[in-house]
Amino acid sequence: MTRQTVVLGAGMVGVSIAWHLRQRGHEVTLIDRLQPGRETSFGNAGIIQREAVRPYPFPRDVKTLLSVLPNRRVDIRYRAAGMFSAASPLLRYWLNSAPKNYQHIVPEYASLIQLSLKTHGPMIDAAGAEHLVRRQGWLELYRTPHKLAARIKEAEEARQLYGVQFEVLDRAALAAKEPAISDTIIGAIHWLDPWTVADPGALVAAYAQAFNDDGGRILQADIRSVQQVNRRWQVRTETETLEVDSVVVALGPWAGKWLKELGYRFPTFVKRGYHMHYSSQGEAKLNFWVMDAEVGYLLAPMNAGIRLTTGAELDQLDAPADVNQLSAAEKAARSVFPLGEHRDDAPWKGARPCLPDMKPVIGPAPRHPGLWLAFGHGHQGFTLGPATGQLLTDMIEGTPTAIDMAPFRADRF
């Protein structure tokens, strides 16, 4: 019999799950209040980060923590209300970032990252989206020799343990690749594995179109309720009610709120972020995605212009935007690359869905047969969507998975 599934959330994770399920013969409806790829997946840095085998830990050294307190850094900002509302998960995040705990988390997290390119590839082909993808890696820029040396040491370890490929660029080699970069940058790491995407939202939309062309259904509607009725699931939207065999919750930063209605209390929190697009001055050209690693922003030459993305802002999901972090990032970026005028009327704001052990939930809900969960990917939902889609579909189908999924089970919380 045809298996009927509803996937809630049409970001990179939800679209990828829907695509994989449809490939295995499921009758799938993908539901979101917006068109695919218009929320968190729209505003990211557009890198499929095969090199990102280590999740972002909470700062633990006193010097860094003290530097955060004035709330003027580019890479991390906070608001008191957001810190208070997420106090418990943030404390657990800090504890999990201790060296002893973190060293156990990294190989589990890396097992997902290592699947990123091999799972994006077939979806890019199916979607005819090669024109959006550049396979040239990206550059991590450094201002001081000792910070670059420390990062090279980490990169060497990542190469040895996880097959990450890179090369070190001195000032001359960097200038050959990026002539317009200021000489305040003394060198860089060129991460060779990652793919970059000139329009992240368009890639998600292309994946969704491939799903639709293969017989999947996309329903743009507000979700009103999700409940189990006997052994089936009922999903009510503003326009219709669907009764299906299974439901997948891939709602990113909104997953925790929705799952509370089914009796689950996951320690979710968000790291918000901003972006703005710019022209460049004169004949200046940015050839690669570049991150000013010691300051904490990224510049990306996208179709809409040069995208400047900020670091993390710890605040409540729906709190009003605060553009001070973006303004600080722009000031720093202008000292490194000759940015021109704004191309957007207003900054974009989004939120990364996070869990305190830095790993997503991927798998069955503990108490509800037919309910499947895929959320909490932090900074890497764009990178890990297709891997999550493949792995969750294997779990739903009862077939062996490419990696051990125990570290991502929902009942670990």
Q: Which of 404, 367, 412, 362 is nearest to 384 (CA)?
A: 362
Q: To the nearest whole number, what is the mean pLDDT of the chain?
A: 97
Q: How far apart are CA 346 and CA 21, in angstroms?
A: 37
pLDDT of residue 22: 98
Asked whether the beta carbons of 311 and 74 are under 8 A apart, the reply is yes
Residue stretches of the chain with pLDDT short of 70: 1-2
For residue 280, is it within any domain? no
Residue appearing with tokens 């040239």: 136
pLDDT of residue 1: 53
Q: How many helices (H) and strands (E) does the chain have?
A: 12, 23
Q: What is the pLDDT of residues 332-356, one digit of tens each?
A: 999 999 999 999 999 999 999 999 9
Q: Which of 283, 272, 378, 286 is nearest to 318 (CA)?
A: 272
Distance of CA 258 to the CA centre of its chain: 20
Q: Which SS3 state, helix, strand or coil, does residue 411 take?
A: helix
In the structure encoding, which two tokens stand for residue 368, read together?
């509800």
For residue 28, is it within any domain? yes
For residue 264, is it within any domain? yes
pLDDT of residue 413: 95
* CATH number for the domain harbouring residue 413: 3.50.50.60
For residue 403, is it within any domain? yes
For residue 212, is it within any domain? yes
For residue 180, is it within any domain? no
H or E stretch at 106: helix 99-113
pLDDT of residue 2: 66
For residue 204, is it within any domain? yes
In the structure encoding, which two tokens stand for residue 205, read together?
């939309």
For residue 274, is it within any domain? no
Total of domains in the chain: 1
Q: Which of 380, 9, 226, 123 is nearest to 408 (CA)?
A: 380
In the structure encoding, which two tokens stand for residue 40, read together?
């968190």
pLDDT of residue 354: 98
The residue segments making up the domain with residue 124 are 1-57+97-131+196-268+355-413
Q: How far apart are CA 169 and CA 175, in angstroms?
A: 9
**182 vs 90, 111, 296, 336, 339, CA distance in Å?**
37, 37, 16, 5, 12
Q: What is the pLDDT of residues 185-233, one digit of tens each?
A: 999 999 999 999 999 999 999 999 999 999 999 999 999 999 999 889 9
Q: Which of 94, 393, 356 is nearest to 246 (CA)?
A: 393
